[in-house]
Structure 1
Amino acid sequence: MSRVPSLSRDHAASADHQSLWDRLEAERKVPTANIFRTLANAPVLLDAFLSYANALRDGSKLSPKLRELAILSVGHATGSEYEIAHHQSHGRKAGITEEQLGAVASAEDSGLFNEPELAVIALARESTTHVHVSSATWDAAAAHLDDQQMVELTLTIAWYNSGVRIMGLLHIDLEDSYRK
């Protein structure tokens, strides 16, 4: 159970808060995910949170498939059931197969991923588990991505690591609709 209440539109007292809920419902899935409902306790920060998340998703040159492989790698490296459950559907839309979804958890070279995909998975896992990334791991990814994509990948990995920490600190529960 979350450490702070998960809010709904009914809790939005002012017109500014109503417009934030309008934005949230227009840009994200309905029903609203628990992370957003919990962050609604800090509406100004939720608004900025949404803008940043949207920029990572929609304003990036990084391929959606590589982005989702990185996010899923962060989720698996941290054991975040919430992040994994929410991003498997995004991964499927980005072209990650069911076999690959299963294999990304082990971080093994199963023959299901190409070199750029393996390099992104390794970078995301190493950054998540060790913070500092070896030159060899960085160089393996940089061999396939330009500088802009490497910065976007770095920001994506860091952003989703922060999401895992937010969910953990606040005890944000996975929605029943995502439970197996």
Structure 2
Amino acid sequence: MSRVPSLSRDDAVSVHQQPLWDRIEAERKMPTANIFRSLANAPVLLDAFLSYANAMRDSSLLSPKLRELAILSVGHATDSEYEIAHHQSHGRKAGLTDEQLAAVADGTSTELFNDAERAVIALARESTVNVNVSDESWAAAAKHLDDQQMVELTLTIAWYNSGVRVMGLLGIELEDSYRK
């Protein structure tokens, strides 16, 4: 159970918060995901959170497939049911097969991925589990990505590590529509 109220548009305490709800409803799936409903308790920070997340998704040179592989690797390394459930559909849209999604989950079938994909998965897992990464893991990914993409990959991995910790601290539950 969430440790803070899951707010909705009806809970907005001032008319100044209505544009934030307009933004959430325009930019995100409906019904509103629990993470946004919880973060709405801090509306100014939620607004900035949305801007950062949108920039990461819409303004990055990192391919959507590599981004989703990194995010799902973080989700599996932290056993975040919420992150995994929300990003499997994004992974499919980015071109990941169900077989690849299963392989990210259990760390097997590496032949399903090319060298760049394997390097991104390994870097995301190592960073998530160990925080610091080896020069070898960094170099394996950097062999396929330029400096801008490596920074974007780094920020993606760190952002989604932050997200799983926010969800864990706030006790944000997975929506029923995502449960199997």
Distance in 1 (alpha carbons) for counterparts of 2:104 and 2:97: 10
Contact 1:68/1:87 (8 A) holds in 2: yes
Distance in 1 (alpha carbons) for counterparts of 2:117 and 2:2: 34
Distance in 2 (alpha carbons) for counterparts of 1:15 and 1:139: 50
Residue 149 of structure 1: aligned partner: 149
Distance in 2 (alpha carbons) for counterparts of 1:91 and 1:166: 22
Spell out the pairing of 1:86-165 with structure 2 (5 A cutoff): 86-165=86-165
Contact 1:81/1:174 (8 A) holds in 2: yes
- Cα offset, 1:109, TM superposition: 4.6
Contact 2:25/2:32 (8 A) holds in 1: yes
What's the TM-score, normalizing by structure 2?
0.99
Contact 2:126/2:132 (8 A) holds in 1: yes
* Structure 2 runs not aligned, ≥5 long: none
Q: Secondary structure at the match of 1:105?
A: helix
Q: RMSD of the TM alignment (CA)?
A: 0.6
Letter in 2 for 1:138: W
What's the TM-score, normalizing by structure 1?
0.99
Distance in 2 (alpha carbons) for counterparts of 1:110 and 1:128: 19
Over residues 28-81 of structure 1, what are the superposed CA-to-partner deviations in whole Å (9 max), with x where a residue is unaligned?
000000000000000000000000000000010000000000000000000000
Letter in 2 for 1:56: M
Contact 2:110/2:118 (8 A) holds in 1: no
Letter in 1 for 2:12: A
Distance in 2 (alpha carbons) for counterparts of 1:142 and 1:162: 23
Once the two structures are overlaid, the 10-residue window that deviates more, 23-32 or 10-19, is: 10-19
Distance in 2 (alpha carbons) for counterparts of 1:155 and 1:107: 22
Residue 173 of structure 2: aligned partner: 173
Q: Secondary structure at the match of 2:110?
A: coil
Distance in 2 (alpha carbons) for counterparts of 1:108 and 1:151: 27
Over residues 62-103 of structure 1, what are the superposed CA-to-partner deviations in whole Å (9 max), with x where a residue is unaligned?
000000000000000000000000000000000000000000
Percent of aligned pairs with the same amino acid: 80
- Runs of 4+ aligned residues of structure 1 deviating over 6 Å after TM superposition are none
Distance in 1 (alpha carbons) for counterparts of 2:108 and 2:53: 29
